[in-house]
Chain A
Amino acid sequence: MLTAITLFLIGIGAGVLGALLGIGGGVILIPLLTGLVGLPIKTAIGTSIISVIATSSAAGAVYVGRGLTHTRLSMTMEIATTLGALVGGFTAVLINPNLLSGLFGLVLLYVAYSLRGIKKEAEDVAPTGFLDTSYIDPLTGEPVKYGVRNFPLGMMASFIAGSVSGLLGIGGGVIKVPIMSLLMGLPMRAAIATSNFMIGITAATSAVIYYRHGYIDPGIAIPTALGVLLGAQIGSRLGSRVHSHRLKQIFQILLLIFAAQMLYRALTGAN
Chain B
Amino acid sequence: MAEPSPDQIHVSPNLEELVNGIESSTRQAQLLREQRDVNDVVHQMLIVGLVVSTALMVFGLALDIFYRRVPPTTVPQIGEVLPRMVELRPSGFLAAGLLVLIATPILRVAGSIFAFLHERDFLYAGITALVLLIVLASLLLGKG
Given A71-B39, A222-B97, A226-B54: A86 in contact with B134 (beta carbons within 8 A): yes
Cβ of B101 and Cβ of A67 under 8 Å apart? no
Is A110 interfacial (CB 8 A cutoff)?
A: no
Given A72-B124, A209-B144, the answer on whether A61 and B60 have CB atoms closer than 8 Å is no
Given contacts A85-B138, A89-B143, A204-B105, contact A222 B60 (CB under 8 A): yes
- Beta-carbon contact of A219 and B104 below 8 Å: no
Give complex CA distance A182, B65 in Å: 49
B144 touches A61 (CB 8 A): no
Contacts of B95 in A (CB 8 A): 218
Query: Does A207 touch B at the CB level, under 8 Å?
Result: yes
Query: Is B61 within 8 A of A82, CB to CB?
Result: no
Q: Which listed residue, B47, B97, B127, touches A79 by the CB 8 Å rule?
A: B127
Contact B134 A217 (CB under 8 A): no
> Mask for A1-22, Cβ within 8 A of B = 1, else 0?
0001000000000000000000
**Complexed CA–CA distance, A78 and B106 (Å):** 12
Contacts of B109 in A (CB 8 A): 75, 78, 201
Per-residue 0/1 for A182-212: is the Cβ within 8 Å of any B Cβ (1 yes, 0 no)? 0000000000000000001101111111111
Specify which of A65, A76, A206, A222 is in contact with B61 (CB 8 Å cutoff).
A222
Q: Is the interface of B mostly helix, strand, loop or mixed?
A: helix
Contact yes or no, B94 A222, CB < 8 A: yes
Residues on A facing B (Cβ under 8 Å) = 4, 50, 53-54, 56-58, 60-61, 64-65, 67, 69, 71-72, 75-76, 78-79, 82-83, 85-86, 89-90, 92, 166, 200-201, 203-212, 214, 216-223, 225-226, 229
| A76 adjacent to B127 (CB under 8 Å) | yes
Mask, B31-72, CB within 8 Å of A = 1, is: 000000011001100110110001001101100000000111
Interface centre among A67, A82, A210, A214 (most CB of B within 10 A): A82
CA distance A87 to B45 in the complex (A): 29
Are A57 and B97 in contact (CB-based, < 8 A)? no
Please report the C-alpha to C-alpha distance between residue A211 and residue B139 in the assembled complex, in whole angstroms. 12
Q: In the assembled complex, which residues on chain A have CB atoms less than 8 Å from the CB atom of B74? A: 214, 217-218
8 further A-B pairs in the complex, CB-CB below 8 A; given A89-B141, A208-B102: A64-B43, A72-B124, A75-B128, A166-B144, A201-B131, A209-B143, A218-B94, A222-B98
Chain B residues whose C-beta falls within 8 Å of the C-beta of A89 in the assembled complex = 138, 141, 143-144
Q: Which residue on chain A has the smallest CB distance to residue B94? A: A218
How far apart are the CA atoms of A56 and B106 in the complex, in Å?
12
Contact between B138 and A205, CB atoms less than 8 A apart: yes
Q: Which residues on A sit within 8 Å (CB–CB) of B135?
A: 82, 201, 204-205
Take A218-B91, A222-B97 as given contacts and tell me if A229 and B70 are in contact as well, using a CB distance cutoff of 8 Å.
no
Pairs across A and B, CB under 8 Å, 28 listed: A53-B101, A53-B104, A57-B49, A60-B46, A61-B47, A64-B39, A64-B46, A67-B39, A71-B42, A75-B124, A79-B130, A82-B138, A83-B134, A85-B144, A86-B137, A86-B141, A89-B143, A166-B143, A201-B109, A201-B135, A204-B102, A205-B138, A211-B99, A212-B142, A216-B98, A218-B91, A219-B71, A229-B50
Task: Name the residue among A65, A204, A220 with the largest chain B CB count within 10 angstroms.
Answer: A204
- Please tell me if the beta carbons of A217 and B73 are within 8 angstroms of each other in the complex: yes
In the bound complex, how far is the Cα of B60 from the Cα of A263, in angstroms?
41
Q: Which residues does chain B contribute within 8 Å of A218, judged by CB atoms?
A: 60, 71-75, 91, 94-95, 98
Nearest neighbor of B134 in chain A, beta-carbon distance: A82
